[in-house]
Amino acid sequence: MLSKRIIPCLDVKDGRTVKGVNFVDLRDAGDPVELAAQYAQQGADELVFLDITATHERRKTMIEMVKSVARQLNIPFTIGGGITEIADAEALLNAGADKISINSAAVRNPKLIEELAKAFGVQFVVLAVDTKYVDGKNMVHLNGGRLITELETENWIKQAEDLGAGEILLTSMDHDGTKAGFDCGLLGRINQMINIPIIASGGAGSMEHFTEVFQKANVDAALAASVFHYGEILIPDLKKELRGHGIPVRL
């Protein structure tokens, strides 16, 4: 059985790590390169960096950050934000990123998933999906959660898998930053629908929440931000707890 992965997420804005609740009220959480090194030492399996206000003007900053992170790390890391074409992804992968994450650009141009998968391989392409429950349906949101689309989350994820996405990073906006637990129901349903790994995101507040999402939704990985950034949960403690519940993790 494959080990379950624990993934700290660093939302980066203007070169700093930030964290909010339900995608708003952002506050500073530290230097991303320093945090990355700490998490690697603690035993994180992977890292995700999301440039949450990415524009082409800031692409150079992100590339410098990727190079700095790559020098510090011996674990895989994923970069997302502002990737709209093959050249953007190529620049980040050349700078040392292991995978790239796309979200809004993929919704606007689904063929981008196919193009990236062909250019770099399926395993490099992570589709990030920000979902919110609206009028009885799970709907995909864009632009850091500010813009609702007409896409139902389940349909979009299935289409993305067919186009060549290698992994899904699914964030529940309703749960994000609330520390009330992951959306195990939605995660479990989608996991049964697709054959590629799912990273659960949004809602981690305690070690029990990680145990619950692995046991109930059988996701491949669980991602969190503030509980790690502010030292509320330490990764070695979390992995011991998971192992105690029979969940396979790499210690």
- What amino acid positions are annotated as catalytic residues? 11, 130
Residues 6+ apart with CB under 8 A from 26: 11, 13, 18, 19, 20
Per-position b or e across 79-103, b if 16+ CB within 10 A of its CB:
bbbbbbeeebbebbbebbbbbbbbb
Contact criterion met (CB below 8 Å) for 44 and 8: yes
- Residue 231, amino acid: G
CB 139 within 8 A of CB 149: yes
Q: Report which of 179, 149, 182, 119 is spatially closest to residue 111, judged by C-alpha positions.
A: 119
CA dist 207 and 234 (Å) reads: 10
- Beta strands 16-21 and 5-13 are antiparallel
HEC string for 199-223: EEECCCCCHHHHHHHHHHHCCCEEE
Q: Tokens 């992994």, residue? A: 167
Q: Which residues contact 64 (CB under 8 A, 6 or more apart)?
A: none
